[in-house]
Structures are given as C-alpha cells and as structure tokens.
C-alpha cells in the first residue's frame, strides 16, 4: 500500500526541526517503523519532520558517567562503538537481537525508544539501567527518566511538539555484569519474551543487586528487583529461585504467537539464564 498524503520537511538545524513540530507532525528518523506504519495506513500524520540532515545528532559519547546516544545514531553504529561497549555492554548485547543488518543500518536507538514497542529490546535496557531521554521542544528541554517515559504500547510521555534529542545509559558500577537473553521464533524476529539482566556483587562476591528488565511480557517494559530471591546462594547465586520469583510476579498476556502460560514460563527460564550470565560477567570483570 501507499501512505496517505503528508507534507515533508527536512530541516538543517535542530531549531528549524523543533519549529516544524507543530500540529499533527511526526519525526522521521530511520523510518524502519514509521514507514511501514504509514504504508499500512496505521498512521496518518499531516507532516513528517525528517531529522536525517541533522548531523549534529549523529553522536555516541562515552564518559565515566555513561553513554549518551544522539537521535541520529543508528543501531549498527552504536553496536560497533568500542567506548559504548566498555562503559555499558548491555546496549551492544541487546542490539545483537534487534532485527537484521539492513534494519540496524537505518534504525536509530533513540527512534526505538520513542517508538516504544513493548517487544523492542532497547526500552527494556533503558528501563533496567534507569536511563533517561532528553526531550527538546521550541519551548525548552527536559530530562525524562525511563520509569516515566513508557506509558503504553507505542506510547510515551513525549509531547507531539517534542523531539527526543538523546538517550543516556548510565555506566556500570564496580563488580557489575550484564547479559541479555530472549527467545524469538527466528533470529531477528521480535521476541516472544526477553530479559536484560544486571547483577552486582560485593567484595566477597555475594550478590548485592539482581535486576531484570523485560520485553514482550506487558504493554511497557517491566523491571523487577530480584535481589532477595537471588542473594542467598552467594557467589553462585539463587538463579533458579529468581526465575521462579519472576514467574510469580509477571502477568503476561497471550496472543497468536504464545499463550500467557508459555510466555510466563519463558520469562522465568530466561531470567535464570540471564542473571547467571550477568553474574559470570561481573566475575570476569572483577578478575580483569
């Protein structure tokens, strides 16, 4: 199908882009989600504001605090960035599960957050890390914590006149490891369920924090603090207990792809697997 008619503007500065975001306008970034939605006539904005000429937003900046990714940085570029991988490996771990190379060459990290697909990997990563998104409008800027950003399936608290200009993923504390696990019917498909895990150990290598961020189990990313369930077994971790606790706490829906019971089961198995891998990662970091 062809999209419904729309006005198209391709600004060369951020100010011009923000001024164009009035009325029924939508930002066009990588187009990997928006163009299919237009072609299927599931979206019909009056104007597209194409940000692809805003080279100043094509950035990946790493500091001791974390990784800041600009609105034009594509998945593939971010996944290749060695500084980002060192400071916050969970981004690269998750990006390995996002679609296929052709999509990753165009799709943007910030676009994925703004699109807020409950089956997408990056919203769960931002949520479990407690990251933020910087939003700009003609009226000013604000920083939105991940906990308040995602409001429903394909819905965020971004206003129509706002653009997400960057996303910030905090760096890992000491003795902290990460891992990502998901199950999809074919590699590159959206996951039936997925988990982004972050585990912190103390000096005696006991678990002091075990957190899991989930995709495809609810309308928005879900974050569970599983420290209590995981902690008793010290160095080896109570990973099976944490998986069981996740199964108790999660309440996924069923759909044509998986029943609710199967999805809950998967989430439990993936929780156990991802937390164990994250703890192994933390141990490797400690030994380096």
Ligand X SMILES: Cc1cc2nc3c(=O)[nH]c(=O)nc-3n(C[C@H](O)[C@H](O)[C@H](O)COP(=O)(O)OP(=O)(O)OC[C@H]3O[C@@H](n4cnc5c(N)ncnc54)[C@H](O)[C@@H]3O)c2cc1C
- Residue 112 binding ligand X, by CB under 6 A: yes
108 touches ligand X (CB under 6 A): yes
d(CA 28, CA 8): 10
Q: Which is nearer to ligand X, 26 or 211 (CB)?
A: 26
Compute the least distance from the CB of residue 111 to ligand X, in Å: 2
Region near ligand X per CB under 6 A, out of 59-67, 110-118, 140-148, 250-258: 110-118
User: Binder to ligand X among 27, 146, 230, 258 (CB under 6 A)?
Assistant: 27
Q: What distance, in Å, lies between the first and last C-alpha atoms of the chain?
A: 54
Single out the residue of 90, 80, 92, 71 nearest to residue 130, CA to CA: 90
**Minimum gap (Å) between residue 282 Cβ and ligand X:** 26
Does residue number 158 form part of the binding site for ligand X (CB under 6 A)? yes
Asked if 120 is part of the footprint of ligand X (rule: CB under 6 A), the reply reads yes
50-55 contacts: CB < 8 A, separation 24 or more? 50/8, 50/9, 50/10, 50/11, 51/11, 51/17, 51/27, 51/163, 52/10, 52/28, 53/10, 53/11, 53/12, 54/11, 54/12, 54/13, 54/14, 54/17
In whole angstroms, how close is the CB of 32 to ligand X at the nearest point? 3
* Residue 207 sits in the site that holds ligand X (CB under 6 A): no
Among 71, 250, 266, 275, indicate the residue that binds ligand X (CB under 6 A).
71
- Find the part of the chain contacting ligand X (CB under 6 A) among 58-66, 97-105, 168-176, 234-242: 97-105
Q: Which of these, 207, 199, 202, lies nearest to 228 by C-alpha position? A: 207
How far from chain centre, in Å, is Cα 278?
A: 17
Q: Is 183 in the site for ligand X (CB under 6 A)?
A: no
Return the HEC string of 33-48.
CHHHHHHCCCCCCCEE
| Residue from 240, 233, 243, 173 nearest 206 by CA | 233
- The residue within the footprint of ligand X, chosen from 169, 190, 214, 239 (CB under 6 A), is 190
Contact flag: residue 164 with ligand X (CB under 6 A): yes
- Rule CB under 6 A: which residues touch ligand X? 26-34, 36, 71, 98-99, 103, 107-108, 110-112, 114-115, 117, 120-122, 158, 163-164, 190
């Amino acid at each position: 199908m062809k999209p419904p008619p729309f006005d198209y503007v391709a600004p060369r500065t951020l100010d011009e882009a923000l001024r164009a975001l009035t009325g029924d306008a939508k930002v066009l970034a990588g187009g990997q989600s928006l163009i299919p939605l237009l072609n299927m006539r599931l979206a019909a904005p009056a104007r597209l504001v194409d940000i692809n000429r805003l080279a100043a937003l094509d950035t990946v900046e790493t500091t001791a605090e974390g990784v800041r990714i600009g609105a034009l940085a594509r998945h593939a570029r971010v996944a290749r960035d060695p500084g980002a991988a060192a400071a916050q490996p969970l981004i690269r771990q998750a990006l390995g599960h996002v679609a296929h190379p052709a999509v990753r060459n165009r799709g943007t990290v910030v676009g994925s957050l703004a699109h807020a697909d409950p089956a997408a990997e990056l919203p769960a990563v931002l949520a479990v890390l407690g990251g933020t998104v910087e939003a700009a409008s003609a009226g000013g800027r604000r920083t939105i914590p991940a906990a308040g950003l995602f409001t429903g399936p394909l819905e965020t608290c971004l206003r129509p006149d706002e653009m997400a200009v960057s996303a910030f993923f905090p760096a890992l504390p000491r003795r902290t490891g990460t891992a990502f696990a998901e199950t999809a019917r074919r590699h590159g498909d959206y996951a039936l369920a997925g988990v982004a895990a972050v585990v912190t150990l103390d000096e005696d290598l006991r678990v002091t924090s075990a957190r899991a961020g989930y995709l495809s189990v609810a309308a928005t990313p879900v974050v569970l603090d599983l420290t209590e369930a995981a902690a008793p077994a010290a160095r080896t971790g109570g990973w099976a207990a944490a998986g069981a606790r996740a199964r108790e706490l999660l309440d996924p829906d069923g759909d044509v792809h998986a029943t609710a019971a199967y999805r809950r089961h998967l989430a439990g198995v993936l929780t156990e697997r991802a937390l164990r891998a994250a703890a192994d990662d933390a141990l490797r970091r400690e030994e380096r």
